[in-house]
Structure 1
């Protein structure tokens, strides 16, 4: 028996449950990353990301090859494999940079900077594909960037290196989405997000393992020594890594069971929810200027999504 139709009461309840799972796993992994890297003192963001990718590798194989949640899509050529490897490398840079930034910045400011992803996506799309958006779409990016500038000026816990890392993570995330559209654009090469993760995650582990051993000296020995003193660290890492996979799984399911527009609206709201929860938990100081800046950025993102939707409907209306 399949899932209930979205229009029925049980179907709506199922969708609400999916969205709640997506929100809780996404915000949960973000807050736990912050706790481990900043409050708990586990200062190894590369190793932490490697744990995430190891869990994603194992769970992806179980979900796709064993449980068959989605049909298995095979890699058809060496060139396609190289393209996936390139995406995996950019993805690693994005996640590691984001985790590094959490060592120095509060989650609220991290989310404010992360909301500028549409700006970087538009820039990379223009540079790499010479794809022009309508002037009104570009105009909506002004409040997106202005809001972060205002939020930066009013952020009591501003840290320059953390800010640079956060900008790098946001840019890499946008680059990955644009590259994915370019590299896996042909019909024979398209992979759904679950299959893409199945191939990307093990590659990410191969990229991250030497980086962790070289840049985070004796991280395995330190983690084992820490586990002898406090075995909670093992449970933190296991739970955190499992949540990292659950974020990808629920994101895929929410995408499948809702429209693209609903996903954009929910994504914008999720950032705001994460900000409020992080402030309540970590009690990091916030200024009125910072909150105004973040609000302006979110308004800009909403306007950008609306402008993109209208330009697509105009194009489809002409064809």
Structure 2
């Protein structure tokens, strides 16, 4: 009996994957352009704009467009847990935006690819979650790749490197924390509803931080906008893209699987590196690209090992 041909991938799924790639790479490149080439040196305010847009657009998407059913917060304890996640989420986004002031996107993505390493280490330390030794061994090229890439990076900047490592570790910490805090069936929220509640809390956290650390940023932004109105459009478009990254991420997962999303994410990082080098023309070395390639190979091996030994 001849096996039936596999079903073709629906155009809707292809469309959502393309949208996810476009919004993800777009917000990354636009962040870089605003914070370095354009000279808008206010990463905390930029993150505040992102979170404000996520708050408003999340509500519109869920309450009016009904992209997903609205899930309610059931207790003050659950709200406190969401607030904790929001603070960590905030920290990771701010650190990521600060790092883009000092590092090229290519190196930023190389460091960001080490998220599985931090997730595995934190899961072991916090919840005693053990993986097979084969799975842990695949993390060696992940870390080795970043060490090689750091040594061969012409635009290496220590503060940018520390901020990027902090952002990556914070993303991993949020994943593990989310598994701990929202593990019961009554507390689980899908990613869109979680963003709906996290984003306004992030705004509340970022507002005083912006006022204290980036004094008179609103006045400065308005003065810059009087000279170049495009700045306002850049900020509005950039903030909207930040929300669509989350929306398309959810929809790609819904139409494929979490594992497929991981594979697509690895490829997306490579695409972002190539596009950023073409646009910003930042210098890259053979050693840097070799290190990044080794990290990506390590992440792919890690994903395969997780799939094989957890099934």
Query: How high is the TM-score relative to the length of structure 1?
Result: 0.95
Q: 2:31 aligns with which of 30, 33, 46?
A: 33
**Which structure 2 residues correspond to residues 64-83 of structure 1 after superposition, within 5 A?**
64-83=62-81
* Post-superposition offset of 1:264: 1.0
Aligned to 1:221: 219
* Post-superposition offset of 1:260: 2.0
Aligned to 2:272: 274
Aligned to 2:3: none
Aligned to 2:17: 19
* Post-superposition offset of 1:26: 0.1
Whole-Å Cα distance in 1 between the matches of residues 65 and 270 of structure 2?
Answer: 34
The one-character-per-residue Cα deviations of 1:112-152 (angstroms, maximum 9, x if unpaired) are: 00000000000110010011110001100000000000000
Whole-Å Cα distance in 1 between the matches of residues 43 and 181 of structure 2?
Answer: 28
**Which structure 2 residues correspond to residues 302-313 of structure 1 after superposition, within 5 A?**
302-313=300-311
Q: 1:206 aligns with which of 200, 204, 207?
A: 204
Deviation >6 Å, runs of 4+: none
Whole-Å Cα distance in 1 between the matches of residues 7 and 113 of structure 2?
Answer: 34
Pair 1:138-2:136 in alignment = yes
**Which structure 2 residues correspond to residues 1-319 of structure 1 after superposition, within 5 A?**
12-313=10-311
The one-character-per-residue Cα deviations of 1:289-312 (angstroms, maximum 9, x if unpaired) are: 000000000000000000100111
Whole-Å Cα distance in 1 between the matches of residues 276 and 307 of structure 2?
Answer: 31
Give ranges in structure 1 of 5+ residues lacking alignment: 1-6, 314-319
* Post-superposition offset of 1:8: 6.2
Whole-Å Cα distance in 1 between the matches of residues 184 and 236 of structure 2?
Answer: 37
* Post-superposition offset of 1:259: 1.8
Whole-Å Cα distance in 2 between the matches of residues 48 and 311 of structure 1?
Answer: 41
Q: State which drifts further: 219-228 or 27-36.
A: 219-228
Whole-Å Cα distance in 2 between the matches of residues 193 and 290 of structure 1?
Answer: 34
Whole-Å Cα distance in 2 between the matches of residues 16 and 171 of structure 1?
Answer: 31
Whole-Å Cα distance in 2 between the matches of residues 167 and 8 of structure 1?
Answer: 41
Equivalent pairs, count = 306
The one-character-per-residue Cα deviations of 1:196-250 (angstroms, maximum 9, x if unpaired) are: 0000000000000000010001101100111111111000000000000000000
Whole-Å Cα distance in 2 between the matches of residues 62 and 268 of structure 1?
Answer: 31
Query: How high is the TM-score relative to the length of structure 2?
Result: 0.97
Give RMSD over aligned pairs: 0.8
Whole-Å Cα distance in 1 between the matches of residues 310 and 242 of structure 2?
Answer: 32
Whole-Å Cα distance in 1 between the matches of residues 181 and 193 of structure 2?
Answer: 15
